[in-house]
Chains A and B, each alone.
Chain A
């Protein structure tokens, strides 16, 4: 109960951080700052994973998102740096409409939760989920796993090809 309460506390804390940083991500003028807030946001998502007992995923989240993707973003921002640190308008004239749409989306999804019947099963997750995930990946999901590796390879090659200066 305490754990539950603590976790709830953490949840709200993380949620708050996450939502605020996410809002910053989409609204700040300086894109570089946005990237930093993205890092924060992604960290908080990792925290949520932990609250959801997905430790491996949290680790992966930190490693990949915070460690790789964000850095990649920052690199990209750096490479296009002359746009990065200016106080220029970063958002277009869709803002009003977007707010309405997002609000509509939010309201409908939230509202639809109430209509939905959730078959909640109150059983624990498998212990040691890293081990379990590894096993499942290598057994049941071995084919998607391999396919994803190919996707990654393709993405890698694609990125190289695209980003090269000279024509191949």
Chain B
């Protein structure tokens, strides 16, 4: 049963990666990141349940991940807003000032 959960998480993570790699919209990327976080969380919880059921460290970790993800989302979205304000757009493809 555990493998099914892990596979699910892997699929979700892969989709998240796909999103991160392909979205132009910065918000889209953030959303894809959330997907990846969730995949990770699923993994954590799964491992907690099937491998170390004695304590709930996996879930605690998941909680921390959620918290961090929330913070990330907040800051990320603030940056997106800033980008939008300064660049008149949030197309991550155009924001390549670090280009060679």
Contacts and interface: CB of A to CB of B under 8 A. Distances in A.
Complex contact flag A–B (Cβ < 8 Å): yes
Contact of A65 (B27, B66, B72, B90): B66
A99 B45 CA distance: 27
The contact size tier of chain B is 35 or more
The contact size tier of chain A is 35 or more
Contact of B16 (A22, A64, A73, A154): A22
**Most chain A CB inside 10 Å of its own CB: which residue of B2, B30, B38:** B38
Contacts of A121: 50-54
B34 to A, nearest CB: 6
Interface of A is mostly: helix
A89 B69 CA distance: 27
A90 B28 contact: yes
Contact of A125 (B56, B72, B89): B56
B74 to A, nearest CB: 5
A133 B69 CA distance: 19
Contacts, number: 232
Contacts of B85: 165
Interface of B: 1-8, 10-19, 21-25, 27-28, 30-32, 34-35, 38, 41-42, 45-46, 48-57, 59-60, 62-64, 66-75, 77-82, 84-85, 89-90, 93
B73 A72 contact: yes
B28 A31 contact: yes
Contacts of B63: 57, 60, 133, 137
Given A151-B67, A151-B68, A152-B71, A54 B93 contact: no
Nearest to B37: A65
A168 to B, nearest CB: 13
A80 B14 contact: no
Contacts of B31: 25-26, 34-35, 38, 73
Closest 10 pairs between A and B when the two form their complex, measured CB to CB: A26-B19, A155-B71, A98-B21, A162-B78, A159-B78, A91-B22, A102-B14, A163-B78, A106-B14, A22-B15
